């Protein structure tokens, strides 16, 4: 079965499996996860692998950055572990360096309902996420099998942001992880080779007619909309400044400017605005093309990925 056929099968099965080479985020208008930075009153402590909540799971796999716990079949859990290591190695290599003081405990529940029940029952979360949740003060990442690769990468980046960027501006706490939810690529020689900077169709659809009037300063200084924040992070990437942005935030160095965005560009915001307006116009004009973008996916070989690109050439132009 080719990649397209496999994807169709997965859609029919409601994404209940995580195949190694073709996985996708849920394309709905819900937020793909959120970070919980504060202690949850009454929640179970998750600071060690000896926690009874964790050891109750029959499967445990320790990877480079995580310790995974689940009741899903071990081969499926291993694929999560493999992707997590490949993904964070890529982030460290291509975006921002970071260290890991301790591995993150990661719980993968079999279904969405079991995931949400776990959050409510065991962690006392009153409003459980739809897809995944990183709870920093408990060193815990929770999601479910089939939540989607975009959700998974988004939530992993919350770990990077919270542990690596202590001075992270408010907009980027969600804006940076949201950037990483959309990509295409392949695995080669034990490395992920991914292409970035794509818009997420459902986010563009949700923003709709507001796109041309979106003010960069409003996003930087006070937006509550993750889709708006993602627009800014994609813009920064497309301008070749995302790595620089992450580094200046990591170093807490605004270079005399009022914001880290200005520091990354080495320009005051009004001088960046011309490029921002052109970016918004381009996205707005290309909305129909953006809607054709397939879900995030990576392949086992460069040849499979090349065939996928040819098949989706109209969307990628």
- 251: which 2 tokens? 């170093």
What is the residue whose two structure tokens read 């065939």?
A: 307
Q: Pairing mode, if any, of strands 297-299 and 104-109?
A: unpaired
Q: What is the mean pLDDT of residues 200-222?
A: 96
What is each CA distance from 230 to 54, 124, 167, 220, in whole angstroms? 33, 29, 19, 11
- CB distance 158 to 31 below 8 Å: no
Environment class of 149 (CB within 10 Å of its CB; exposed 0-12, middle 13-18, buried 19+): buried
Mean residue pLDDT of the chain comes to 85
Cα–Cα distance measured from residue 259 to residue 99, given in angstroms and rounded to the nearest whole number: 25
Task: Convert the pLDDT of each residue in 15-50 to its tens digit.
Answer: 323 333 333 333 332 233 333 333 333 333 444 434
pLDDT for 48 equals 44
pLDDT for 131 equals 85
pLDDT grade, residue 5 (50/70/90)? very low
Q: What is the mean pLDDT of residues 237-242?
A: 98
Domain ranges of the chain: 3-166
Task: Convert the pLDDT of each residue in 168-188 to its tens digit.
Answer: 999 999 999 999 999 999 999
pLDDT for 40 equals 34
Question: How much helix, strand and coil, in percent to the nearest 5, is found in the chain?
Answer: 50, 15, 40
Q: What is the mean pLDDT of residues 198-223?
A: 96
Beta strands in 7-93, from DSSP E residues, in sequence order: 34-36, 59-62, 66-70
14 or 245, higher pLDDT: 245
The pLDDT > 90 percentage for the chain reads: 69
DSSP 261-302: HHHHHTS-HHHHHHHHHHHHHHHHHTHHHHTTPPPPEEESSH
């Amino acid at each position: 079965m080719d990649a397209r056929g496999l994807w169709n099968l997965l859609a029919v099965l409601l994404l209940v499996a995580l195949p190694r080479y073709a996985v996708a985020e849920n394309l709905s208008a819900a937020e793909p996860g959120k970070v919980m930075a504060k202690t949850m009153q009454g929640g179970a402590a998750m600071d060690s692998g000896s926690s009874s909540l964790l050891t109750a799971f029959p499967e445990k796999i320790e990877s480079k950055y995580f310790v995974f716990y689940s009741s899903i079949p071990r081969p499926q859990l291993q694929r999560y572990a493999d992707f997590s290591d490949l993904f964070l190695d890529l982030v460290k290599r291509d975006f921002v360096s970071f260290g890991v003081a301790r591995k993150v405990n990661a719980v993968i529940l079999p279904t969405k309902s079991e995931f949400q029940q776990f959050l409510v029952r065991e962690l006392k979360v009153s409003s459980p996420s739809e897809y995944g949740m990183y709870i920093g003060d408990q060193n815990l990442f929770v999601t479910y099998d089939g939540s989607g690769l975009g959700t998974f990468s988004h939530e992993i980046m919350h770990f990077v942001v919270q542990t690596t960027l202590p001075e992270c501006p408010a907009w980027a706490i969600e804006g940076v992880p949201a950037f990483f939810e959309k990509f295409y690529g392949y695995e080669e020689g034990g490395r992920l080779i991914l292409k970035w900077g794509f818009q997420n169709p459902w986010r563009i659809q949700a923003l709709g007619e507001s796109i041309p009037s979106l003010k960069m300063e409003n996003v930087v200084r006070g937006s509550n909309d993750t889709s708006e924040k993602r627009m800014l992070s994609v813009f920064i990437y497309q301008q070749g400044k995302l790595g620089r942005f992450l580094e200046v935030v990591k170093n807490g160095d605004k270079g005399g400017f009022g914001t880290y965005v200005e520091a990354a560009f080495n320009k005051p915001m009004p001088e960046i605005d011309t490029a921002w307006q052109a970016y918004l116009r381009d996205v707005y004009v290309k909305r129909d093309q953006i809607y054709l973008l397939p879900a995030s996916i990576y392949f086992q070989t460069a040849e499979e990925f090349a065939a996928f690109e040819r098949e989706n050439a109209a969307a990628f132009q």
